[in-house]
A and B are shown apart, each in its own frame.
Chain A
Amino acid sequence: MEKKNFSLAVSPHIRSRESTAKIMWSVVIALLPALSVGIYLFGIHTFYIILTSIIAAISTEGLFQLITKRKIRIFDGSAVITGMLLALILPPTVPLWIPALGSFFAIFLVKELFGGLGHNIFNPALAARAILLLSFPLIMTSWVSPFDGISCATPLAIIKDNLSAPLPSYLNLFVGTRAGCIGETSVLALLAGSGFLLLRRIISWHIPVSFIATVALFSFCSGKDPLFQVLSGGLILGAFFMATDYTTSPITKKGQIIFGLGCGAITSLIRFWGGYPEGVCYSILIMNVLTPLIDKYTLPRRFGTKGVRSQHLTK
């Protein structure tokens, strides 16, 4: 009984089994269906794109942390996610230096320079894609149809520019057999992954539902086909995997709904009245900037400040 030096620590003395790494690797798992379908649809080159993107993301992060003498945390899965997400939103035909450069931008410029994990303002993958799109517009907008690799336009571009090409059916859009970015085409695969994240309670419904519902509402009100608008472009990918990024989205549920509404509204504005056929990427980036402001005005109601009810209990 004379043993001394028991460890002193502030309560609580038990901790849940959840960890940052577990959350991150769960997201990686949730992205696998979309990645696999992307490779299946667009061929082996997409596999190399994905691989390059991931390797570049991990090595940029590792190198940066090595040079700046920070703790190496390349194994927590977050750089892998960034690499995967970036690959998912690239056209399937890009040369391999595009994902390499993109991952470098994402990790170095957007994430690490802002303070690393948990401190970045923009979603790294989306910001990198925006930079790539501005720098290499041609490469970043050449699309091919699945399986045969014949170049063609994306469904949203067909609508936007009134092209004569045939539109894919709802079923095509749902399973993913249409032109588009590597990971955005198959709604089915994306929903499978997001279902897993919802079940694991890693993401909540608030952002995706308000985002998608707002786009549907805008489509309906402006005479567009809501279902087509929801199923095409990068909406499902963006709503479930990009807009729900913890660091760059609001923390309260109320704030998340506002964030989703904003994303949906900006996406619709760009799609219907802007210069680009697709607006998911820019809408999320714009809302990323507004996140601190949303947080500030959606503080949870302080306990005990609800009008104190004076009524007695049930008799």
Chain B
Amino acid sequence: MGFHRFRGGVHPPDFKYFSKTSPIKNLPLPPKVIIPLLQHTGAINESLIKLGDSVEKNQKIGDSKKFISAPVHSSISGKVIAIEEFPTPTGQEILSIVVESNNRDEEIFLDRIDWEKESAEVIRDRIREAGIVGLGGAAFPTAVKLSPPKEKPINTVILNGCECEPCLTSDYRLMVEKPKEILEGFQIILKILGVKKGYIGIEDNKLEAIKNIKNQIPLLTNQANFSRNLESPNLHLTHSQMEVITLPTKYPQGAEKQLIKAITGREVPPEGLPMDVGAIVQNVSTALAIKEAVVDGKALVERVITVSGPLVKKPENFRVRIGTPISALITASGGLPADTERIIVGGPMMGIAQWTSEIPVTKGTTGILLFPEDESPNKEIEPCIRCGKCVEVCPMNLLVSEIGRYAENRDWASAKKLNVSDCMECGVCAYLCPAKRPLVQYIKWAKEQIKVESL
């Protein structure tokens, strides 16, 4: 297989040391949670409850009949005190259900499933019912992703443990602390897709995670093979195999297309999906959520979030209930520093800057970062000197500098000709640009205009 690499990418300072040694802590129960009815990529849910209803933890409170959707659940027990629009981390105001805690944290469970015996359909339904979405940030409904059409056979499943964004350490902590649960989730994914071999891609700056996952693999597979051998000795080694692939640390190693390219050498075609090259990628924390849904009967009502950044007094990794206001997390990490200029939800390369800290944690929230004012020597946009660094590092092979110039001149048709739609907005171009040109902004603008003018 040779080298595991993709073209382009950058090496920003990773800032992982802020929080990588902080074990995952449970955040105290919030007094109330705000559960947006849309936390995934897809159709918005309808509320299943009324104002004043009592709800329990894990109770489904919003669902949709649309295929690309994922239900939402109450993450605490208590009373519904409001159903109204609230700002969410993506910047949109979304109809949300506000639940006031009764501090009893009563929970209901879905029935536990013996995934080794049940059919793929049953397990997939459970994953949908538990509201699981991709936890790496994009929040695409997992059950949909695990339902590839027949004409797109899957032969490669990759578990994404790259966590290539600087600062973020939630996936890392999970791999260190819960390798067994993650791998069980991965086995469930492999079973659903009927694939025998799975790869776990981890960057080489996460040695402890690599070690713990590697140590866990033989334990799991031996145990499974042992119990199978007792039942039917001929079924020897039918159990799925899992292999850790150590990848060079380079941003954006964890981008789906780049990860597939690095591990398999295959390139997902433009505007295509991983399944077009027989691959499916799932995040490690999604695998954990799948395990908890299937084996433990829990809905997706909590997740692990990194609170970090150069200003944060106590950078931490918290396990928090979905719907907790991010201000509660900031308070738990030592409070909001006075010179905070930006609150970022997500990583520093692709995260979204927020205007308020009164927004809820959603399923796609990977981290909360506090940054001081940008200290870069020049903030002003300078003319492009055609140094070509953006073109050199673009993992999608785009002629970024020219796209930027076209956007500057509002020449959307020319930007389209240079395949601006291929851009995933990873930000390596703007990160590196010596003229500090807002290339991602130009590209977003061009994409939007192309859509509006339907060029």
A169 interfacial contact with B, CB 8 Å: no
CB <8 Å contact, B398 and A300: yes
Interface string of A296-307 (1 = CB under 8 A from B): 000111111110
CB under 8 Å from chain A, chain B span 417-436 = 418-419, 422, 425, 427, 430-436
- Which residues from 391 to 431 on chain B have a C-beta closer than 8 Å to any C-beta of chain A? 391-392, 394-399, 401-402, 418-419, 422, 425, 427, 430-431
List the one stretch of B37-45, B266-274, B284-292 in contact with chain A.
Answer: B266-274
Q: Are B386 and A246 in contact (CB under 8 A)?
A: yes
Q: Pick from B155, B267, B348 the residue with the most CB of A within 10 Å.
A: B267
Q: Does A9 contact B (CB under 8 A)?
A: yes
CB of B193, distance to nearest CB on chain A (Å): 15
User: Which chain B positions have C-beta within 8 A of A301?
Assistant: 397
Majority secondary structure of chain B interface residues (helix, strand, loop or mixed)? loop
Interface residues on B, range: 35 or more
Interface residues of A in 172-198 (CB under 8 A from B): none
Taking the complex as formed, is A221 at the interface, i.e. its CB lies under 8 A from any CB of chain B? no
Question: A308 vs B373: C-alpha distance in the bound complex, in angstroms?
Answer: 45
Interface membership of A7, Cβ < 8 A = yes
Please, which residue of chain A has its CB at the minimum distance from the CB of B349? Answer: A12
Binds A, one of B75-83, B92-100, B102-110, B353-361: B353-361
Is B244 part of the binding interface, using a Cβ–Cβ cutoff of 8 Å? Answer: no
Q: Are A11 and B351 in contact (CB under 8 A)?
A: yes
Interface residue? A159 (CB, 8 A)? no
Q: Closest residue to B371 on the A side, CB-wise?
A: A13
A5 on the interface (CB 8 Å rule)? yes
Number of A-B contacts (CB under 8 A): 181
Name which of B331, B427, B434 has the most chain A CB atoms within 10 A of its CB. B434
Q: Could you mark each residue 1-41 of chain A with 1 if its beta carbon is under 8 Å from any beta carbon of chain B, else 0? A: 10111111111111111111111000000000000000000
CA distance A303 to B261 in the complex (A): 10
Among the 9-residue stretches A111-119, A131-139, A263-271, the one with 4 or more Cβ atoms under 8 Å from chain B is A111-119
Tell me the bound Cα distance from A20 to B387 in angstroms.
9
A255 to chain B, nearest CB (A): 9
- 0 or 1 for each of A45-76: is its CB under 8 Å from B? (1 = yes): 00000000000000000000000000001001
Q: Is the CB of B449 closer than 8 A to any CB of chain A?
A: no
B176 interface contact, C-beta 8 A: no
Docked-complex contact A13 and B351, CB < 8 angstroms: yes
Question: Is the pair A15, B430 in contact by a Cβ cutoff of 8 Å?
Answer: yes
CB distance from B354 to the nearest CB of A (A): 6
In the complex, the chain B residue whose C-beta lies closest to that of A4 is B356
Contact present for A20 and B353 (CB under 8 Å) = no
Tell me how far the C-beta of B27 lies from the nearest C-beta in chain A, rounded to whole angstroms. 15
| CA distance in complex: A8, B432 (Å) | 20
| A252 and B270 contact, Cβ closer than 8 Å, known pairs A17-B377, A247-B386 | no
- Assembly CA distance A281 to B61 (angstroms): 74
B148 within 8 Å of A by Cβ?
Answer: no
**Which residue in B1, B268, B341, B438 is a CB contact (below 8 Å) of A313?**
B1
Would you give 13 A-B contacts (Cβ < 8 Å), ordered by A?
Answer: A11-B440, A12-B440, A13-B344, A13-B371, A14-B13, A16-B434, A73-B382, A117-B382, A252-B391, A303-B422, A304-B422, A308-B267, A313-B197
- Known contacts A14-B166, A303-B267; 4 additional CB pairs below 8 A are A12-B427, A73-B382, A304-B272, A313-B156
